[in-house]
Amino acid sequence: MEDEPVLVDSSRLKSVVWKDFDRIRFGDTCVAVCKHCQKKLSGSSTSGTSHLRNHLVRCRRRLNHDIVPLVTAKGKKKEATVAIAAVSFDQEQQTSEVANIVQPKYEHAHSNYVTGNLVKSNFDNKRSRFDLARMIILHGYPLQMVEDVGFKIFVRNLQPLFELVTFDGVEGDCMQIYHKEKQKVSDMLDKLPGKISLSADMWTGKGDAKYLCLTAHCIDDEWQLKKKILNFLLVDPSHTEDMLSDVIMMSLMEWDIDRKLFSMTFDSCPTYDNIICKIRDQLRLSQNNFLICDGQLFEVRCAANLIKNMAQDALEAVSEVTDKIRESIRHVKSSQGTQEKFNEMAQLVGINSQKCLCLDNSLQWNSTYFMLDMALEFKDAFSLLPEHDSVYTSCPSYEEWDRASAIASYLKLLIEVSNVFTGSKHVTANIYFPEICEIHMQLIGWCHKSDEFISSLGMKMKTKFDDYWKKCSLALAIAAILDPRFKMKLIEYYYPQIYGNSAPECIDIVSNCMKALYNGHLASDGQAGDGSGNDSRDRLIGFDRFLHETSQGPNVKSDLDKYLEEPLFPRNMEFNILNWWKVHTPRYPILSTMALNILGIPMSKVTSDSAFDVGDRVLDPYWSLLRSNTVQALMCARDWMQNDSEDTKTLADATPLAICYDTS
């Protein structure tokens, strides 16, 4: 007769797992029956309880129950091993398929932190949805990934409680994040102590799509340089210059920063001339003209764009030579035998260079310089090769090698200057003046060369440079004067080399502009406290202005006079100009406000990863397919979130829940 099942009293069993199982004895055999799904597992004392724990983790009817007892029991160990069941869509999956994933070792405090959070909170689906959306934004993933089969399986196995989202759902989550982050940026801009400068970039999307990227540049009350993308707008090809200027003005008014605008930085292009003029005129004709000194430094052109244009002019002038050099390198690398023969030629002429020949990348102009620089070291070997290789017919002449050498030396200067412009994430306006002056003097030298090829090329490039210099030289010089290591001395050093006998008059122009800007900031500071402004926190600001005005005697020096008369600050590599002005703000209250506005001007708007690119920046092809509003939300939110993480703490060092989005 078959043995009757007997329910065994499990209260004496130590493991908490028996709270979820009944132990049934069938004769000499013990079986553990899950109280939730009635599944039968081995209940023998020799089987242990690990398989029972694994079952509880994957038991579908128990997933909504609290797992505190399990976590608490496991948390007693310093190195926690959590058994995670691989969820399968096959209901007949065997117990042996359960995978135990061993978590990496953590510091004891970190382990307690994770365990504590797991104990205190249940799974938060809404928070996880926003974590997913933030991940997509930060890393530029395609939104379509949430509907990929592989992604769904991965998420379902990782956390069965997570409710899978659709494309429309994650798009909506991204928009919510954008609006929340946008409010933070708006609050930051509203609290700025100084003005805002704007830069404009054109991006290329899929097909012929063009996007206008507007970025705000400013210095906050902690004297930290900030950069935030404000808008990323799809541009209609039919838009006229007037329409583009209206689009920019609408963006300024949407952000309520039209009254705070100090300057605008564009590429060197005649199209932008009219756009800048129209925006400046609209700001002048507004009810309150907030442009300091009538916008004397309002128009700025991108220095990196100027360098790129001059580099392209130089490379275009020697395009036939560079074509021959490319063919020469291809020939040498065409076979091992040819390479060995070329190496023999190099040894014959005494070349011991460790450099390797390489071809350039047509999308980056600096790579052409590196190709020329390496080829020039082997020019004697190339010149000897035709005598021993009848197939090789593309060797440049001696005159062409000389031209390539002259162009390479100039490209080297442009690359060095570009590296200074992009040497750090936040570059202030004061560093540009000496670099641009070096280029200016090099061009002057080229224009006076006896070699007609070099002199004509120099004249062509100087025409573009002169247009830039006319628009930007004052802003460059004023920013350099605000560097306490240089002040007027740097102007007095470079201008005689550039202008010769006309230098004194040109220096006077800069000095007068400096004084006018100082007086403009002084007047602007007074208007801010005349009772008609928005600042009502200090009702004695008017008294301060009255005290300043009535204290001005013949022997009282202004901030500007005191600053220029005091000795130069020692020049060293560790100098931080923003820290210097932060410390000296009490001594120069008006001049520090002027420094706040001018040092924040983006003299160059190119980042290090695109400094040498030939074309426009290109939008991710997956994001190009999205609606224009979604593209703007993703581009702006990614910029804001990346900047926030860099300003505080990198995401890699953050705690496991630090990336979670605050949905409150």
- Own/partner long-range contacts of 656-663 (Cβ < 8 Å, ≥24 apart): 656/114, 656/117, 657/117, 659/131, 659/134, 659/135, 660/127, 660/130, 660/131, 661/127, 661/130, 661/131, 661/133, 661/134, 661/177, 663/126, 663/127, 663/130
Confidence at residue 289, expressed as pLDDT on a 0 to 100 scale: 67
Confidence at residue 73, expressed as pLDDT on a 0 to 100 scale: 41
Q: How confident is the model at residue 106 (pLDDT cuts 50, 70, 90)?
A: very low
Confidence at residue 118, expressed as pLDDT on a 0 to 100 scale: 43
Q: How confident is the model at residue 76 (pLDDT cuts 50, 70, 90)?
A: very low
- Distances in Å between the Cα of 430 and the Cα atoms of 206, 435, 475, 653 are 38, 10, 9, 34
CB neighbour burial string for 57-79, b if at least 16 within 10 angstroms, e if fewer: bbbeebeeeeeeebbeebbeeee
Do 74 and 80 meet the contact criterion of CB atoms below 8 Å apart? Answer: yes
Q: State how far the Cα of 255 lies from the Cα of 248, in Å rounded to an integer.
A: 11
Question: What percent of the chain shows pLDDT beyond 90?
Answer: 58
Which of 600, 643, 602 is CA-nearest to residue 305? 602
Confidence at residue 3, expressed as pLDDT on a 0 to 100 scale: 61
Confidence at residue 225, expressed as pLDDT on a 0 to 100 scale: 94
Structure tokens that stand for 139 in this block: 């890393």
The residue with tokens 């290090």 is: 608
| pLDDT at residue 537 greater than cutoff 50 | no
| pLDDT at residue 318 greater than cutoff 80 | yes
Three state DSSP letters for 120-156: HCCCCHHHHHHHHHHHHHHHCCCHHHHHCHHHHHHHH
Three state DSSP letters for 328-397: HHHHHCCCHHHHHHHHHHHHHCCCCCCCCCCCCCCCEHHHHHHHHHHHHHCHHHHHHHHHCCCCCCCCCC
Q: Minimum mean pLDDT among 208-217, 369-378, 540-549, 619-628: which range?
A: 540-549
Q: State how far the Cα of 272 lies from the Cα of 267, in Å rounded to an integer.
A: 8
Confidence at residue 551, expressed as pLDDT on a 0 to 100 scale: 63
Q: State which amino acid sits at residue 519.
A: N
Do 415 and 369 meet the contact criterion of CB atoms below 8 Å apart? Answer: yes
Q: At what angle do helices 365-377 and 319-332 cross, to 10 degrees?
A: 60
The residue with tokens 């309520």 is: 256
The residue with greater pLDDT, 425 or 508, is: 508
3-state secondary structure of 227: strand
The residue with greater pLDDT, 4 or 22, is: 22
Backbone angles phi, psi at 188, to 5 degrees: -65, -45
Confidence at residue 285, expressed as pLDDT on a 0 to 100 scale: 80
Backbone angles phi, psi at 200, to 5 degrees: -125, 130
Q: Minimum mean pLDDT among 76-80, 189-193, 292-296: which range?
A: 76-80
3-state secondary structure of 30: strand
Q: State how far the Cα of 242 lies from the Cα of 232, in Å rounded to an integer.
A: 18
Confidence at residue 557, expressed as pLDDT on a 0 to 100 scale: 83
What's the predicted TM-score (pTM) here? 0.76
Name residues whose C-beta falls within 8 Å of residue 179's C-beta, 6 or more positions apart in sequence.
Answer: none
Q: Minimum mean pLDDT among 104-118, 124-138, 264-278, 580-594: which range?
A: 104-118
163-174 residue pLDDT tens: 999 999 999 999
Q: How confident is the model at residue 545 (pLDDT cuts 50, 70, 90)?
A: low
Q: CA triplet 416, 417, 419: central angle to 5 degrees?
A: 65
357-398 residue pLDDT tens: 999 998 999 999 999 999 999 999 999 999 988 899 999 999
| pLDDT at residue 53 greater than cutoff 80 | yes
Do 614 and 362 meet the contact criterion of CB atoms below 8 Å apart? Answer: yes
Mean pLDDT in residue range 527-531 = 48
What mean pLDDT value characterizes the chain? 83
- Distances in Å between the Cα of 49 and the Cα atoms of 54, 67, 68, 302 are 9, 16, 17, 69
Confidence at residue 16, expressed as pLDDT on a 0 to 100 scale: 80
Q: State which amino acid sits at residue 453.
A: F
Confidence at residue 103, expressed as pLDDT on a 0 to 100 scale: 34
| pLDDT at residue 65 greater than cutoff 70 | no
| pLDDT at residue 653 greater than cutoff 80 | no
Q: State which amino acid sits at residue 301.
A: R
CB neighbour burial string for 388-397, b if at least 16 within 10 angstroms, e if fewer: ebeebeebbe
CB neighbour burial string for 359-385, b if at least 16 within 10 angstroms, e if fewer: ebeeeebbebbbbbbbbbebbbbbbbb
Confidence at residue 110, expressed as pLDDT on a 0 to 100 scale: 40
Confidence at residue 37, expressed as pLDDT on a 0 to 100 scale: 83
Q: Alpha-carbon dihedral of residues 418, 644, 217, 229, nearest 10 degrees?
A: 90
Confidence at residue 648, expressed as pLDDT on a 0 to 100 scale: 54
| pLDDT at residue 402 greater than cutoff 70 | yes
Which of 590, 635, 598, 558 is CA-nearest to residue 233? 635
Do 289 and 281 meet the contact criterion of CB atoms below 8 Å apart? Answer: no
| pLDDT at residue 108 greater than cutoff 60 | no
199-236 residue pLDDT tens: 999 999 888 889 999 999 999 999 999 999 999 999 98
The residue with tokens 């910029």 is: 639
- Own/partner long-range contacts of 347-356 (Cβ < 8 Å, ≥24 apart): 348/381, 348/384, 349/380, 349/381, 349/384, 351/377, 351/378, 351/380, 351/381, 353/377, 353/378
Q: How confident is the model at residue 528 (pLDDT cuts 50, 70, 90)?
A: low
Confidence at residue 42, expressed as pLDDT on a 0 to 100 scale: 87
Which stretches of 147-288 are DSSP H helices?
149-158, 167-190, 241-254, 270-284
Do strands 100-102 and 225-235 pair parallel, antiparallel, or not at all (unpaired)?
unpaired
Do 34 and 20 meet the contact criterion of CB atoms below 8 Å apart? Answer: yes
Q: How confident is the model at residue 637 (pLDDT cuts 50, 70, 90)?
A: very high
Mean pLDDT in residue range 171-197 = 96
Structure tokens that stand for 169 in this block: 């759902």
Q: State which amino acid sits at residue 459.
A: M
Backbone angles phi, psi at 198, to 5 degrees: -120, 140
Backbone angles phi, psi at 92, to 5 degrees: -95, 15
Tell me the residue ranges of DSSP E strands in 518-650.
617-618
